[in-house]
Amino acid sequence: MAEYDFPADLRDAQLRLHQTRVAYAALCRQLPWSVEPAPGWEGDKQLHSDRVSGMPASPGYTEHQRREEERLRSLLLELSITVSTHPHWDALRGPDLVQARMALKQTATEPTSDTD
């Protein structure tokens, strides 16, 4: 794969996007299944197995969970737009553009070798 010299602000935005996706996924794994309080339910036994579908009652999101989910979702949208519309992409076309975007995703998840 070709080497690309991405602008620092583009790399930083991609790294923040990656970190925000990880944080959002972690938050979503902890959230109740329903935003609003909802009763649980139990379904019928599945044919040819012992599995019974159902969900426990959901207390709904707390105000803190609601605000954090909204904040992270908004940040994901903002960073996605920043990365995808960055002026750096204007100089690339076709397969080069696709390869460069994929390379940015890989380099942004790797630790930088810069020392402060």
User: Would you list the domain boundaries of the chain?
Assistant: 8-33+56-109
Distance of CA 111 to the CA centre of its chain: 19
Specify the pLDDT at position 27.
Answer: 98
CA atoms within 13 A on the CB side of 20: 19
Cα–Cα distance for residue pair 82/88, rounded to 1 Å: 11
51: left (phi over 0), alpha (psi -120 to 50) or beta: beta
Indicate yes or no: pTM above 0.95: no
Q: Does 51 score more than 90 pLDDT?
A: no
Q: Does 116 score more than 60 pLDDT?
A: no
Mean pLDDT within 71-96: 95
Cα–Cα distance for residue pair 85/110, rounded to 1 Å: 22
Specify the pLDDT at position 47.
Answer: 80
